[in-house]
Amino acid sequence: MKLVQTQFKPDSIQIGVSACVVGQGVRFDGGHKRLGFADRDLREFVSYVPVCPEVAIGMGVPRPTIRQVEVDGAIEIVGSTDSTLNVTDAMSSFSQQQSQTLDGLSGFIVCAKSPSCGMERIKVYHPDGHTLRHDSVGVFTKALMERYPLLPVEENGRLCDPVLRENFVTRVYALQDWQRMIHSGLTADKLVKFHSRYKFMVMASHQTSYRTLGQLISDLSSNDLQDVADEYIYGLMWALKQRANRKGHTNTLMHLQGYFKKFIGTEERQALADVIDKYRQGLLPLMAPMTLIQHLLVKFPNEYLSNQVYIRPHPDKLALRQQL
């Protein structure tokens, strides 16, 4: 049984990935499920940690297909055409052990529909072969998510959706940012500054969390710092998982616009307001008002706004906001 181990590296973003998703021929038939965005676009900015649970437990390539079967209320992993092939114990053991060695990751991309790696809607069969339901999770992915509840996890298929893709990458960068801060040594000052940089990001994603996290940070002297930090990062990652919609973005953009009202003339102010409103109506992508705001920041520097993660949550080259 081959395990992969990681350690956190503050100067790089490590993402776990089902090996087939980055083009490795490890599927049952020797093929792969290469995702262009992962293997081409995102690869420039991250280091991948490939994992294939089925190969890791010695099933080899090619190999018989497997599926989840419910037997007496418990899930077993057995051969799709040969029920005498049972890898339940091996898969469970690998999943539990492997999931404990991935502390250095900031995200994970898994393969959809896989009985070992799928994130959701995995088929569960009756021993007689008919489908019971479509609501299970891959054995390895389930262990991974239980071990690391903060970890952004997404399926290859879902990452074809521009909203889900941008949301996932935003969360990966946010978690790595947090991990880097914790790695350098947690202090009250660092926590306050971290929250300050994420205020507009949270505002766009979830208004209630914006208020709750602000209240949590407001009085660090009365509570244990580590307890506050633990509660904060759980709240932040949950908030960022809520996909920001046009209403949330529009509200945030209008707040950003307010910082320039003393510096720009009527025409510039109206032009920005018009672009924000066109975005609200769905006539322009998010990049349109964001580009104007970035331009204004060059003309009228503002350290507080420049430090906001919302302005640039991930590399521009990924162009993740062009379809939002």
How many other CB atoms are there within 10 angstroms of residue 78's CB atom? 21
Alpha helix ranges (H) inside 14-81: 36, 53-56
pLDDT at 222: 84
For residues 267 and 309, membership in a common domain is answered with yes
Tell me the pLDDT tens digit for each residue of 12-31. Answer: 999 999 999 999 999 999 99
Tell me, yes or no, whether 126 lies in a domain. Answer: no
In this prediction, residue 49 carries a pLDDT of: 98
Give domain status of residue 107, yes or no. yes
Sign, CA dihedral 179-181-183-188, equals: negative
pLDDT tens digits, 41-77 = 999 999 999 999 999 999 999 999 999 999 999 999 9
Residue 147 and residue 103: Cα distance in Å, rounded?
10
**Residue 192 identity:** V
Domain end: 159, 188, 207, which one? 159
Residues 251 and 288 both lie in one domain: yes
Same domain, 153 and 22: yes
Mean per-residue pLDDT, 159-165: 97
In sequence order, what DSSP letters do the residues of 122-150 get, joined into one string? EEEE-TTS-EEEEEE--HHHHHHHHH-TT
Could you list the residue range(s) of the whole structural domain that residue 322 is in?
161-324
pTM of the model: 0.96
Domain C-terminal end among 128, 159, 190: 159
Residue 247 in domain: yes
Query: d(Cα 43, Cα 25) in Å, to the nearest integer?
Result: 18
Total domains, the chain: 2
Residues 109 and 195 in one domain: no
Confidence of residue 40 (pLDDT cuts 50, 70, 90): very high
As a whole number of angstroms, the distance between CA 120 and CA 241 comes to 16
Q: Phi/psi of residue 67, each to 5°?
A: -155, 165
Domain assignment of residue 207, yes or no: yes
- CA trace torsion 11, 192, 210, 254 (10° rounding): -80
pLDDT of residue 219 exceeding 90, the answer is no
Q: Phi/psi at 267 (nearest 5 deg)?
A: -65, -45
Asked if 312 and 168 sit in the same domain, the reply is yes
Give tens-digit pLDDT for 270-285.
999 999 999 999 999 9
pLDDT at 94 over 90: yes
pLDDT at res. 308: 98
Does residue 1 carry a pLDDT above 80?
Answer: no
> What pLDDT shows up at residue 298?
95
- Report the Cα 275 to chain-centroid distance in Å: 29
Please say which residue of 159, 191, 218 terminates a domain: 159
